[in-house]
Amino acid sequence: MGISGTGSVAGTARDGWSSRTAFILAAIGSAVGLGNLWRFPAEAGANGGGAFVVFYIGCVLLIGLPILLSETLIGRHGQASAPESVRRVALQSKASPAWGLLADLGVLGSFLILSFYCVVGGWVLYYVGIFAVDVVQSGPFGGAFESMSAEEIEALLPDLFANGPLMVGLDALFLGITLYFVAKGVSGGIEWVAKWMMPAFFVLLVAITIYSAVGGAFEETVAYLFTFEWDKLTGPVMLAALGQAFFSLSLGLACMITYGSYVGRSVNLAGTSTIVAGADTAVALIAGLCLFPIVFAAGLPANAGPGLMFQTLPHAFQSMPGGPLVGLLFFVMVAVAALTSSVSLLEPPVAWMIDRFRIVRPVSTGIVAAGAMVLGALSALSFNTMGWFHPLGFIPLFEGQGMFDVLDGLTAKLFMPIGAILTAIFVGWIADRRLVDSENGLGGILHLFWLLLVRFLCPLALLGILIAGLFPDLFGG
């Protein structure tokens, strides 16, 4: 159990993970999501395959993992919501409590991501529905789906975009499911989802990957994902890989600080962080090995970007035996992964509200979700009827963009890198050394190595993403 009695509503003990395994599963659940299944293959495909993948793995090891450990250790030490945890560590280190702002920013960032993440979660539910109806009506080999033309299949997504009320409804459904589990609390809700859904997710992932490897173009995929060609490693490719590593590990957004705050004192954080980063990277790679053989076997292009999962893949499912059933299982798997991530995006603002205003969890959850629903509806509608609605259009970075793209750009290009840079500086330079040493579970040379990374490499590399994100022209991106 998380052991602190502080930071909760008047007099009640603070909730926490029931075991180390529960924490590991919940943190893997947060990390593994649309980022692995949708964004990673799309980014790898759009950025030339092998060079991106190899650089990505380096980023996870040298930058993602040290920051992940830094975030969880702040949370575990603070045993409170993310901003309060940072403030406590700052005060004990005789530093200014204003450092708490780094996590305030993270809480706001996770709220913003939640709002549009649930919109994409809604698209996933839509595809679950399409495949489920086909399988129920016509059996695993499908009927209606089988007879659709390639154009009709590719039009499914734009057709959904054109239907504003349906998109908002699906967004509300996905957010509603997320809300239900977060309202039930850490051990009773979030942990429950992780314990049941993550194993189910892994079974589905392995089963579909084996199916895809046996029946699809596996050798071509391996060559594509793992052939490292130096000349493809350009500035924009490196930055895309670093940004992807960050998004995938749920960093820079108070999320892992919050999850860390529910961990008991006896857990070795260096060990658990390594397991979480390893599992997340393995899932991203397996997702590539699962998706591309199907795409290549159908003779389709790998570089469709975001359309890869929602347009190219359904097209490929059509041409394989049992495709509709595989499609159904595939999108159920994506929905499960997205749900264990969306609960981790809702939890930081909810924990903050409980701490800050002493409002009980179900009410806090309802208030945050209502706010996310309003923003989410604006994002959903920015694909069609409100395409003219460009809230930050006066800033050159966001010129001509709808709400969805503005929120995506704002969080990925500003909130995540700024949050992570401040975390690295805070843990590397500001926090009391003895406090950090006693929390991080590292000894000797490994500790020294981690400190070097957190102090130097992480802030500098992250500053690189920040500048490149803000001034793409500088990097030719």
**Contact residues for ligand PFF, defined by CB under 6 A:** 30-31, 33-36, 110, 113, 247-248, 250, 253, 255, 341, 344-345
HSE of 67, CA atoms in CB hemisphere, 13 A: 35
How far apart (Å, rounded) are the C-alpha atoms in residues 297 and 307? Answer: 17
154 or 171: whose CB is closer to ligand PFF?
Answer: 171
164 or 305: whose CB is closer to ligand PFF?
Answer: 305
The number of angstroms, rounded, from the C-alpha of 165 to the middle of its chain's C-alpha atoms is 26
Shortest reach from residue 404's CB to ligand PFF, in Å? 15
Closest C-alpha among 40, 117, 127 to residue 310: 127
Shortest reach from residue 377's CB to ligand PFF, in Å? 21
291 or 451: whose CB is closer to ligand PFF?
Answer: 291
How far apart (Å, rounded) are the C-alpha atoms in residues 299 and 390? Answer: 38
247 or 296: whose CB is closer to ligand PFF?
Answer: 247
325 or 368: whose CB is closer to ligand PFF?
Answer: 368
276 or 406: whose CB is closer to ligand PFF?
Answer: 276
Shortest reach from residue 281's CB to ligand PFF, in Å? 11
Cβ(268)–Cβ(18) below 8 Å = no
262 or 296: whose CB is closer to ligand PFF?
Answer: 262
HSE of 360, CA atoms in CB hemisphere, 13 A: 5
Residue with tokens 């699809």: 216
Shortest reach from residue 140's CB to ligand PFF, in Å? 29
What 3-state class would DSSP assign to 326?
A: helix
How far apart (Å, rounded) are the C-alpha atoms in residues 274 and 126? Answer: 35
325 or 346: whose CB is closer to ligand PFF?
Answer: 346
Nearby residues of 25 by Cβ (< 8 Å), 6 or more positions away: 191, 194, 195, 198
Nearby residues of 140 by Cβ (< 8 Å), 6 or more positions away: 322, 324, 325
124 or 298: whose CB is closer to ligand PFF?
Answer: 124
How far apart (Å, rounded) are the C-alpha atoms in residues 294 and 301? Answer: 11
Shortest reach from residue 388's CB to ligand PFF, in Å? 29
DSSP element (H, E) containing 58: helix 50-59
Nearby residues of 363 by Cβ (< 8 Å), 6 or more positions away: none
Nearby residues of 220 by Cβ (< 8 Å), 6 or more positions away: 292, 293, 296
Shortest reach from residue 33's CB to ligand PFF, in Å? 3
102 or 451: whose CB is closer to ligand PFF?
Answer: 102
198 or 217: whose CB is closer to ligand PFF?
Answer: 198
Residue with tokens 């809230």: 391
HSE of 325, CA atoms in CB hemisphere, 13 A: 8
Shortest reach from residue 307's CB to ligand PFF, in Å? 18
Could you give phi then psi for residue 186, rounded to 5 degrees?
-75, -60
Shortest reach from residue 82's CB to ligand PFF, in Å? 10
Closest C-alpha among 98, 99, 31, 104 to residue 68: 31
Shortest reach from residue 280's CB to ligand PFF, in Å? 7
Cβ(34)–Cβ(120) below 8 Å = yes
Shortest reach from residue 244's CB to ligand PFF, in Å? 9
- Type of residue found at 435: L
Shortest reach from residue 235's CB to ligand PFF, in Å? 23
